[in-house]
Amino acid sequence: MIAVKDASRVPPDDRGFGVIEIVISLFLLGLLAVSFIPVLINGWKTSARNTTIATATQLVNQQMGNIRAVRSPTSTPPSCADITTFVAGTFLPSLDPRGVSLQPQWDSVTCPAAYPGVVRVRVTVTETGEITPIASAVTLIFVSSASGATP
């Protein structure tokens, strides 16, 4: 014969979780999940900003490579006029992967007093319509003369 326990004699501790305990645990789990939402949003914003900064830095490096490749038609090293002409050109904006428009801009060039010499050039990349640069770099370019004629 199998002994069957009477359900009325089972102590309250052995009945498992009740509905109230489950509701309270779900409420606490929900509060914990809601507390992570600002962290997630901040992470998304930081990731988006880093994408724009990386693209702007890549654009600066590209422009630096372009100005280092400038050559005078009459001599191998560029002249100050060649660098000034390149810097005066209009550069089209580029889009980063998020669709933000980035505009490269060159500072004006001051030619050296004596030749051969160096010209300091600076490129900055800003978001189109903004003033604050996202990325910038400065380099010195060797120039052989003022106008491209070999000295």
DSSP labels, 103-125: EEEEPPP---SSSSEEEEEEEEE
pLDDT digits (tens, 9 = 90+) for 96-149: 888 999 999 999 899 999 989 999 999 999 999 899 999 999 999 999 888 865
> Is 127 within 8 Å of 146 (Cβ atoms)?
no
pTM for the whole thing? 0.74
Q: Residue ranges of the domains in the chain?
A: 33-143
pLDDT digits (tens, 9 = 90+) for 9-39: 655 555 566 788 888 999 999 999 898 899 9
> Is 87 within 8 Å of 103 (Cβ atoms)?
no
